[in-house]
Amino acid sequence: MPPVLRIIARLALAMVMVIFLRPLASGGPGPVSSGWTLVKNIRFHTHPEYTRIVIDLDRKAWYRIESSEDASAVTVELRNVYLRPGLKRRIAVGDGRVNAIGLARPDISTTRVVIEMESPRVYRYFALERPYRIVVDIKGRLEKAPAAEKTEEPPVERPHEREAVAPRVEPAEPPEEGPPIMEEEGAMRIGGYLQNETAYRTSAPDDLSKVRNIFFLEGSGRLGMNVSYKVSARAVYDAVFDLTSNFSKEVEDDQEFEVDLRDTYVDISLGDWDVRLGRQQIVWGEAVGLFFADVVNAKDLREFVLPDFDYIRIPHWGADVELTKGDVYIEFVWIPVLEFNKTGVAGSEFPPAVPVPDGVTYTIRGTNEPGDNFRNSEAGGRISYFFEGWDLSVFYLYTWDKFPAYFRTIDSSTRYTFNPEHKRLNVGGFTLAKEISDIILKTEFVYSEGKYFAVIDDKDSDGVVRKASIDYLVGMDYTLWDRLDINVQFMQRIIPGYKDTIFREERIRSTASIRLKTGFRDNTIEPEILIISSLEETDMMIRPKIEFTWGGQWRFRLGADIFEGKNDGVFGQYDTKDRVYTELRLIF
């Protein structure tokens, strides 16, 4: 079959996986997460068309939506969550739609958020990510402006929207007025997961490329009225090195086994101030499939950008200080312990390209990394403002380039030596989102000053040039038929003062992506496809998958990662690495 027809056939098959069996809307369980999830805050905003209730979480959690028999209350039931110290048991709203929001804990593993409506109303709900939160909109126009105090309106993003008059399900009893709900001090909640990830390379030579087994464990609890904590670690063993002989000793040493400390921190809440101290992930960007404004954490790219982003990000030791005042959010970040990107070694499945001409051999010496001290620390901040549905964030980070600059010496016409070194980088930019007629428009803009690019030019003294770079995206999220989530993105990288000798870069590189996702059987079956492609040439990545969840503890994925293009393309360089894969997770 010709290559073009093969691509079209793959796309058609993947899209059938996504669109078939369009389900009925229902209030089924939300996404499943491992371990315990922190309920950070519960807030509301009154809009002329609806009242929005937002449950802020620090990660995904199992949830379901129910309502009372007379449709006068909606209950969000959450499993395996714990509450931020100081959360009130009852929040008065009184805006003409919602009377109050109450918290109830029928048992240690269940929390119910009860939205008491002043009369039966239509509602919709959806989940938002980065940061994760559950949003419930109680709909219906008000006759007059409410007297209730307005809190900040959450940023708008892609909704998983369902809209119906509340079904006839018996609600939880709203709690009486009382003091803040407190977790038992000193009691640690333990959770985690076991996961197997198996991948089979379908391009010659076809064989197993991954049989990774992961043990993830975390504990969380409270140390006082305003202090909580989390500890987590991950152990990884890839059996592919024992089952096959396809990889070198260097690759085996790099990827067979590792144990690392993951998010481990203390949270301190002091009124409008929140402080997180410890090893953590700080997420500023919201792009789908690639990283743009997500500039704080280093990344583990030994498997390219294929794993979940939470897996790819490398937590770092630091301080994250947040101040929330009405519609303004201010964040300050300080990172005294440095982390840098991990990339595959030569001979692995996804090694980075080395800037050498054809026919030239090379040696790469050890990377020169800056030491951990105050002078070398990273620092930055972000200011967000919500105004009439506009979500604007401006950020700046004084950091180190997470990729090293490949300084080069020429030993002979056929032999190069590289001395990688990390250099300082100034990064600034903004993110912007706005909902217009159920379409979510968003953009991310990043300007980097002082980045070193490798060049293919034997007349250049050190093999690198220092340039600025601009990366931006414009995206759109829309939910079709109340069930099919559509994300479309247009992305560009621009290098001012571009030189033709810069290695595998262009003056302007344009890329587009589309993601389609739906769910049925109460979202326990979720097909999805993501396609990212260059707009100038054949260079693309196609990622169809389907996910099954059941029993509140099990998750199974079946998918494929397909690369097409020339060997000097962002995706085409892995054209011989097409694979199918499975993932099975048991959550405890």
The CATH number assigned to the domain holding 80 equals 2.60.40.3500
Could you report the per-residue pLDDT of 190-244, keeping only the tens digit for each? 889 999 999 999 988 899 999 999 999 999 888 877 888 999 999 999 999 999 9
- Residue predicted with more confidence, 457 or 80: 457
For residue 71, being part of any structural domain is answered with yes
Q: Are 292 and 473 in contact (CB under 8 A)?
A: yes
State the average pLDDT for the chain: 84
Q: Which domain holds residue 44?
A: 33-165
Could you report the per-residue pLDDT of 266-303, keeping only the tens digit for each? 999 887 888 999 999 998 887 889 999 999 999 999 99
For residue 568, being part of any structural domain is answered with no
For residue 105, being part of any structural domain is answered with yes
Cα of first residue to Cα of last residue in the chain, in angstroms, is 46
d(CA 233, CA 381): 27
For residue 110, being part of any structural domain is answered with yes
For residue 86, being part of any structural domain is answered with yes
- pLDDT band (50, 70, 90) for residue 106: low
- pLDDT band (50, 70, 90) for residue 163: very low
Q: Are 468 and 502 in contact (CB under 8 A)?
A: no
| Residue 145 pLDDT exceeds 50 | no
How many domains is the chain partitioned into structurally? 1
Q: What pLDDT score does 156 carry?
A: 43
Angle (CA) 396 402 408, round 5°: 125
For residue 119, being part of any structural domain is answered with yes
d(CA 47, CA 410): 65
Could you report the per-residue pLDDT of 9-62, keeping only the tens digit for each? 454 444 444 444 333 333 444 444 445 778 888 888 888 778 889 898 888 888
Q: What pLDDT score does 185 carry?
A: 56
Helix (H) or strand (E) holding 218: strand 207-224
Q: Please tell me what DSSP assigns to residue 172.
A: P
pTM of the model as a whole: 0.75
Q: For the chain, what's the residue count?
A: 588
Other Cβ atoms closer than 10 A to 463: 25
Q: What pLDDT score does 19 carry?
A: 41
| Residue 177 pLDDT exceeds 60 | no
